[in-house]
Structure 1
Amino acid sequence: ANPNPALRSRPILGLQILRDFKPAGPGRWAGGKIYDPNTGRTYDSKLSLTASGVLKVEGCISVICQAQSWTAAD
């Protein structure tokens, strides 16, 4: 749970979780941050868009990264 009790019950819908990205090549962005509302932590992040339209989102602490694939909502 988010360590800040005041932030635990706020709505997630509309919350900015990605910020500060800069273009890093065709279909790629780097230098950004991703916010995890569950933990209240912000991580270094990079994004890449696949040819099929899937957004690969990576969040990193030091050299350890975790990636997710995001698809557009219908």
Structure 2
Amino acid sequence: MVDLREASLEDLLGDPIIQAVMASDGVRAEDVRQLMKRISIRTRLHLDISEPIWKPTQRGRLAGSSGLAAG
């Protein structure tokens, strides 16, 4: 039987292919979780989502100690 539900963020982050791509780009799962959390908060607060909430750095890493730019 086919599972037709949408994959959760954790499902996606647990996928070996996605993990390999993220590793090659220097992106950590926690970086993605924090980015999605910030997007969710901005969306709920109806903030301007056209403003970038992360800044790419060398090899795709996200800026800041947590991987995200302040904002």
TM over 0.5: no
Q: Which has the higher contact order (CA 8 A, sep 6+)?
A: 2
* TM-score (structure 2 length as normaliser): 0.26
More helix by share: 2
More strand by share: 1
* TM-score (structure 1 length as normaliser): 0.25
